[in-house]
Chain A
Amino acid sequence: NAGVTQTPKFRILKIGQSMTLQCAQDMNHNYMYWYRQDPGMGLKLIYYSVGAGITDKGEVPNGYNVSRSTTEDFPLRLELAAPSQTSVYFCASSYGSGISYEQYFGPGTRLTVT
């Protein structure tokens, strides 16, 4: 049981380039999330999904897109990378939301846009 996995671990992008951050979970969780974490700023929700085919925006969705074609995978797409997207990105999953639904995190992707 690998839990939540993310690739790549590190990436450097030039301004205007695009990339996809991969996330997968093998816990049969319905809910998946993408967060970004900037120094001293806490975790900000980018997008979330409540099941295959269903996604919605979080607090900071601009400049990002997601898809959820399977229960296991939840990729995050960055289009036209900007320096403001330099951050650490975490994918997370849970069985659902609400009481007792604990959220588990992947190892993260450190992205630098120059």
Chain B
Amino acid sequence: QKEVEQNSGPLSVPEGAIASLNCTYSDRGSQSFFWYRQYSGKSPELIMSIYSNGDKEDGRFTAQLNKASQYVSLLIRDSQPSDSATYLCAVNSGTYKYIFGTGTRLKVLA
């Protein structure tokens, strides 16, 4: 069974700190990696995608991919209370199938 693993949290960080969210995956053939933010009662919202090893930055968000270690992470700099949400990691192996983790709940404390 191909899986995506995330720590369910909650991960609590103070306002202004860096939040670090981690995800591991089991399928070495995975090609595309995505981070979604999901507020309570809302739908997943795509915030980052990454396809090659290394870092990808977009504003306060940085996605990091290490295919050798089968590890993808999301860093949120200068965390704000509005960043409090569940963050879903998703992986695609080049087919129709996107495999989602169960998410990490982030709480940013004001």
Contacts and interface: CB of A to CB of B under 8 A. Distances in A.
Interface of A: 31, 33, 40-43, 45, 48, 50, 56, 90, 97-108
A90 to B, nearest CB: 6
Contacts of A97: 92, 94-97
B96 A103 contact: no
Interface of B is mostly: loop
A100 B95 contact: no
A43 B95 contact: no
A102 to B, nearest CB: 5
Those 8 A-B pairs whose CB atoms lie nearest each other, nearest first: A42-B102, A98-B94, A105-B43, A43-B100, A97-B96, A99-B31, A108-B43, A105-B44
B102 A40 contact: yes
Contact of B32 (A50, A99, A105): A99
25 contacts: A31-B96, A33-B96, A40-B8, A40-B102, A42-B100, A43-B44, A43-B88, A48-B96, A50-B96, A97-B95, A97-B97, A98-B32, A98-B92, A99-B31, A99-B94, A102-B34, A102-B46, A103-B90, A105-B36, A105-B44, A105-B45, A106-B43, A107-B43, A108-B42, A108-B43
A41 B96 CA distance: 20
B63 to A, nearest CB: 13
A107 B90 CA distance: 18
Nearest to A94: B98
Contact of A45 (B34, B51, B94, B97): B97
